Amino acid sequence: NSGIKITADEDAEKLMYQAAHYETVASALVVKMGHEINPEFKIGCMMAMGPTYPATPAPQDVMKAERTMQAGYWLADIQCKGKYPNWLKRYFERHHFALDITEADLNILAVGTVDYIGFSYYASHVTKTTDNEPDDYMTPGQNPEVKNPALERSDWGWEIDPVGLRYALNWFSDRYDLPLFIVENGLGAFDKKDADGKIHDDYRIDYLRKHIEQMELAVDVDGVQLMGYTPWGFIDLVSAGTGQMDKRYGLIYVDKNDAGVGTLKREKKLSFDWFKKVIATNGADLS
């Protein structure tokens, strides 16, 4: 998203951090301006949340999972807390990244913090240490080959983890103490018409129901401030992640496949009427 091109003789990591800094300053300036226009404006940020668990109780795996979470949400640290996390400042020092970060920039970051966090949640991840990992390995990431034996997976191998949503809500709430908004949550699947010509996507209803139940626990039991919930998505469209039409998330089926064949006719799936009922009852009826 930086809009920059990196040449072979440039330090790609340093350049991306510099670009990210400029982006966070620009974002903070917009938030500051919005609040000056109207102090009642509520301005948020957007994060892609996928909690990372350690593969084992081994301390090194626990530490790697923690570092993975740190690496994944340092931008949220800046946008919500108004400052760089200590571990990242030390990382810049250790790697001799002399970035263009001015005192004026830091002052803007401090005052241009967001009012809430919007985030997407689809799945959780599991990570495990490997031999000879450096102590300052900053971006360990998720290891696709490390599967969670306690969870089922979607058609695309994503872990289906409703409790992970409650974990994510608590993690954000404890770390930033801000209102939260779940703006994406859904199941990508191969939807096929049954003999009656309809799409009985009970698996999607089950996915959404279990996630909404965990969301309610986060609010009623854990005290999370939750502004709202919107599933992904309302209608089938080309998946941004894989470029596929057959990877369907919608409550409405669109007659078009990966080969581009189809009439684009739209039809309600079983999940459409189910979610309509959920909205009408404000979540009281999830049956």
Residues ≥6 apart with Cβ < 8 Å to 270: 198, 199, 200, 201, 202, 205
Identify the CA nearest to 276 among candidates 219, 214, 208, 213.
208
Identify the CA nearest to 226 among candidates 284, 162, 173, 175.
173
Identify the CA nearest to 169 among candidates 126, 212, 231.
212
* C-alpha neighbours within 13 Å on the C-beta side of residue 49: 28
Distance (Å, rounded) from C-alpha 193 to C-alpha 237? Answer: 17
Q: Which residues are catalytic?
A: 184
| CB-based contact 100:24 (threshold 8 Å) | no
H-helix segments, 221-254: none
| CB-based contact 87:66 (threshold 8 Å) | no
